Chain A
Amino acid sequence: MIPMSEREPSDVAKKLLELAEKFGQIELENVQVVVEELTLQLQPTIAATRGVAALQPSAAKPMDRLLEAEFVKPLEVYPGQVAEVQLGATRSEGGTRSVAVRIGGARVPPFYSFEGANPNRPAFAMDVFDMPLTLPKAIRQHYEGVMDDPAAWAKKSVREFGADIISFNLISTDPGLKNTGAEDAAQTVRDVLNAVDVPIIIGGSGNKEKDPVVLEKAAEAAHGERVLLNSVSTDTDYKRVVKAALEHGHSVVAFTPMDINNQKKLNRLLLDAGLPKDRLVIDPTTAALGYGIEYSISLLERIKLAALKGDPELQMPILSAASNAWGAREAWMKTEELGPREYRGPLWETVTGLTMMMSGADLFMISHPATVRVLRGLVDSLFGIGETDQKIEDWITAIE
């Protein structure tokens, strides 16, 4: 707005008005004024503007005390609620897990804690594969010596890195890789279940024909353990997987590539096939930071808001494969220009996971131990746990 002074002659104002009449508006060094505004501003007082002449000191209106103001919390009402899904079954529930993990159940948007408390914290699953694979160095170095042995890998992830859940991926069943049979794969599932006492997610290889067969056998091997079968999509034999899940007491991930309408459609198909809402987790696709994460942000935000507004077909907890972050070259590539990749890599995954968490994801698949550590600490804080003696009032002088 135009700085005003009460000492300037009125002809300046008149000229400005004339100019404004002529050109509709005038530009005054970064300030645009339309005629109506100018008339209003100029007529009661007589003004000059910076940009026409040198800046004239313009005195502030003196105030002798701070004006009163009261902040009122801007609350909304949410008629809907996200379903709660339990992963893992304890002995009393017919499984052998020592703890179960509950996710979902949101009543307010993610971390809008001033509106109410969501019942469950986001949970962190760590990736384990059933065969050694090429992983970026920053990840690989944490699993040297266990990559040949999924049970040991899972154990290490729980004991040393604090995984809430193991995400066990049967990639060797891919016909293009080892083409491991479903029976053999099921045996490694038993091995992992015996090695750890946390809930597990069982993933296929991504092969649309074979995955339902593999997941069916895995479901049988994990009878009663309430595992999460990952995943089904519109073009797989989802009925077969749903049947196995119901028979053996498991839950299912519904995966769709980046499309809210397809996600709704798949969810509807699964519910119609008899899968209860509290047995369903959705994966609407997590794109890596720098490679389309914005699509995932808006997708998750839209899904969560729709759920809270009451859309029953989107009221499921959301799974995010934060480890997709490692697909970004910035995460793994060795290049001087971008700084040391041992920090860059985990940070890329951390920021990808954090962004998805703030957008509404409830469950994460993660590769690097630092990501789990950082995100869990962040969740603690966001749930009000912990303390701080940070004196931010004086940050200007308190930073060295």
Chain B
Amino acid sequence: MTEKATLLTVYKLLPQTNCGECGEVNCMTFASSLLERKKIVKDCKPLFQDAKYRAQAAKLADLVAPPVREIVLGVGERAVKIGGKQVVYRHDLTYHNPTAIAIDVSDKLGDAEIIDRVNRTEKFQFTHIGESLKLDAIALRAASGDPQRFAQAVALVAKGSSLPLILCSLDPAALRLAVEQKGVYERRPMLYAATKKNWKDAGALAKQYSCPIVAFSPGDLSELKALAKTLRAMGNEEIVIDPGLWTQGPLLKSSVENLEMLRRSAIQKKDKDLAYPIMAVPAVTWIGESPDPKAAAYKESYMASLLLTRFADIIIMHSLDVWALLPVVNLRQGVYTDPRKPVAVETGLKVIGNPNETSPVLLTTNFALTYYTVASDLEATGVTCHLLVLNTEGLSVESSVAGGQFNAAGVKDLVASSNVESKAKHRKLVIPGMAARLSGEIEDLTKWEVMVGPKDSSQIKEYLDKFWNESKMP
């Protein structure tokens, strides 16, 4: 591919009939949606129905294919896509396919412990701003050195879990034995890894069973490129590259540089031999005899976070401590939020539950994250209320109070325009705790009694139970 995907080059390959079957106004807007990946090539039906478009359909598919290959791990509901990246910086478009987080499981553990660890990985789930934050895969480690034991452990997990599997061993014979267990290759496990020593056998195994395979070449990008190129030449399509991660000293410096160079080579320099998803293993913070579990988990957590800021498409972690995983899944959610999504939600009066005229009236901002956090907290704790959403230009309470977008005059206008005075008989307004310093001014301007609520919306329920007395309402 030498041609660059632009509005014009894409448009040229479309039927240009403006038929509208794709749901867009015309072929030009479809071209634009294709570039933004809101639509896919097959949404253009005529392109595939009419044989005369055959050649250009294929050209178009190639033209808009992301520079970093997209790979699917596993099968069924929990299958996960990695890679498919189109840009180096998220502000240039958006990042696709959130970094997959795999949890390692050693074959040295007893069967019951293995099952327990797999279950904990599967069940890990937190809801944040309306999204479910989860873990994505199991990385089974052949730590015992016994291929038979590894194969048993793999079979056990394959049977007991629907999560995608990564089979980790540098011994191709051990990988083969594991892959050939009943019900394993059908799960499309990813093989880890092909190295300069074992690539012939590991690569052949991956090809034979159509498994994705990781090329692992710690610290040597020329070798990594050679490995990826060779695996590809052997007939493997689904390749992932691991340049190695050290977590300390000059080797950390070069590890970070390597991640940056790999992604830039793939996207900006169009190096096809490196156009693959990147893997990194923050679990290396656990290497050694009896590491301090708190220190290792703490370091693993911020190393994983660093990797999220540096293009990792899939990572393997060891800690299952919630406190250590929580920052990572939260950062991932942020990094993979589409920056084109508006920062602000609609302003005005919203209802939570079925409020009546004695229900509380609460105030919040129109920053999407603030609004969704408050709304989901209120719903989760069963609060019924009127919720006034103030135009703070999409800023949080703290920032907009500091920046002046959250001000008494704005609240006064909101009270008037929202018609809240016809919805509530009382004149009591609960404002966010972080806006406490505006309470006097708001009272002066609105003539409502201001009650300063908690600083965190998770505590609104408790606050209302304590201070909101409906029987005293007029």
**Hey, which bits of chain A sit against chain B, CB under 8 A?**
1, 3-4, 21, 23-25, 29-30, 32, 34-37, 39, 50, 55, 57-63, 66-74, 76, 111-114, 174, 176, 206, 208, 233, 235, 255-258, 285, 287, 289-295, 297-298, 301-302, 305, 324, 327, 329-330, 333, 337-341, 343-344, 347-348, 350-351, 354-355, 358-359, 374, 378, 380-388, 390-393, 395-400
Q: Who on chain A is nearest to B133 by CB?
A: A290
Q: Does B86 contact A (CB under 8 A)?
A: no
> Which residue in A34, A74, A114 is a CB contact (below 8 Å) of B61?
A34
Contact B404 A71 (CB under 8 A): no
Across the A-B interface, the 8 shortest Cβ-Cβ residue pairs: A24-B48, A36-B58, A339-B323, A60-B207, A257-B403, A294-B334, A386-B249, A388-B248
Contact across chains for B302 and A350 when beta carbons are under 8 A apart: yes
- Rounded to whole Å, the gap between the CB of A239 and the closest CB of chain B is 18
> Of A30, A291, A337, A391, which one neighbours B322 at CB under 8 angstroms?
A337
Query: In the bound complex, what is the Cα–Cα distance between A395 and B282 (angstroms)?
Result: 10
Whether A176 contacts B208 by the Cβ 8 Å rule is no
Known A235-B404, A285-B399, A399-B104; contact A330-B330, beta-carbon cutoff 8 A = yes
Do the beta carbons of B210 and A384 come within 8 Å of each other?
Answer: no
Chain B minimum-CB-distance residue to A294: B334
B226 touches A343 (CB 8 A): no
CB interface residues, B 387-409, toward A, < 8 Å: 393-396, 398-405
A23→B42 CA distance, assembly (Å): 11
From B54, B61, B399, contact of A257 by CB (8 A): B399
Residues in chain A near residue B48, CB distance under 8 A = 23-25, 34-35
1/0 contact string of B124-148 vs chain A (CB within 8 Å): 0000100000000000011101000
Q: A30-B188, A290-B128 are in contact. List 7 more A-B contacts (CB 8 A).
A: A57-B209, A67-B229, A301-B90, A340-B323, A351-B327, A358-B310, A396-B142
B residues near A291, Cβ cutoff 8 Å = 369-370, 373, 396
- The secondary-structure label for the interface of chain B is helix
Q: Which of B141, B199, B204 contacts A66 (CB 8 A)?
A: B199
Contacts A66-B199, A74-B268, A327-B398; is A60 near B204 (CB within 8 Å)?
yes
Known: A297-B309, A382-B253. A114 touches B367 (CB 8 A): no
Q: Does B287 contact A (CB under 8 A)?
A: yes
**Could you say which residues of chain A place their CB within 8 Å of the CB of B265?**
71-72, 74
Q: Tell me the smallest distance from the CB of A179 to a CB of chain B, in Å.
A: 12
Closest to B310 in A: A358
Q: Within the complex, what minimum Cβ distance (angstroms) separates A323 from chain B? A: 12
- Distance between A127 CB and nearest chain B CB, rounded to angstroms: 15
- Cα distance A338–B126 when bound, in Å? 10
Q: Are A59 and B227 in contact (CB under 8 A)?
A: no
Are the CB atoms of B41 and A34 closer together than 8 Å?
yes
* In the assembled complex, B22 has its CB within 8 A of some CB on chain A: no
How many residue pairs at the A-B interface have CB separations less than 8 Å?
Answer: 312
- Give B440's nearest chain A residue, CB to CB: A176
A395 to B458, Cβ gap below 8 A?
no
CB 8 Å contact bits of B34-56 with A (1 = contact, 0 = none): 00000001100101110100110
Residue of A nearest to B220 (CB): A71
Bound-state Cα–Cα, A193 to B149, Å = 65
Q: Are B327 and A347 in contact (CB-based, < 8 A)?
A: yes
Given contacts A58-B235, A337-B322, A400-B286, contact A305 B89 (CB under 8 A): yes
The smallest beta-carbon distance between A136 and chain B, in angstroms, is: 11
Query: A35 with B58: in contact, given A59-B208, A67-B230, A400-B286 (CB under 8 Å)?
Result: yes
* A255 and B19 alpha carbons, distance in the complex (Å): 50
Taken together as a complex, chains A and B put the C-alpha atoms of A35 and B54 apart, in Å, by: 7
Q: Are the CB atoms of B318 and A399 closer together than 8 Å? A: yes
Minimum Cβ distance to chain A for residue B50 (Å): 9
On chain A, the residues within 8 Å of B298 by CB distance are 343, 347, 350, 374
Min C-beta distance of A334 to chain B, whole Å:
12
B196 within 8 A of A: yes
| CB pair B210 A390 closer than 8 Å | no
Which residues in B have their C-beta under 8 angstroms from that of A73?
A: 261
In contact, B233 and A63 (Cβ under 8 angstroms): yes
Q: How far is the CA of A374 from the CA of B259 in the complex (A)?
A: 21
Q: Are B369 and A292 in contact (CB under 8 A)?
A: yes
B17 at the interface (CB under 8 A from A): no
Q: Is the CB of B170 within 8 A of A396?
A: yes
Report A-chain residues with C-beta under 8 Å of the C-beta of B185: 55
Contact A301 B399 (CB under 8 A): no
Are B327 and A113 closer than 8 Å at their CB atoms? no
Q: Contact check, A63 vs B257: say whether CB atoms are below 8 A apart.
A: no
Distance A62 CA – B394 CA, assembled complex (angstroms): 58
**Chain B 159-200 per-residue mask, 1 if CB under 8 angstroms from chain A, else 0:** 000000000111000000000000001101000100010011
A357 → chain B closest CB, angstroms: 9
- Cα of A382 to Cα of B286 in the assembled complex, Å: 20
> Which chain A positions have C-beta within 8 A of B343?
258, 295
What are 17 A-B residue pairs whose CB atoms fall within 8 Å in the complex? A36-B57, A60-B206, A72-B265, A112-B260, A114-B257, A114-B261, A291-B370, A292-B396, A327-B398, A333-B456, A338-B323, A347-B324, A354-B306, A378-B306, A381-B249, A396-B169, A400-B106
Indicate if the CB atoms of A381 and B222 lie closer than 8 Å: no
Interface window among B114-122, B288-296, B356-364, B420-428: B288-296
Interface members, chain B 226-274 (any A CB < 8 Å):
226-227, 229-230, 233-237, 244-253, 256-257, 260-261, 264-265, 268-269, 271, 273-274
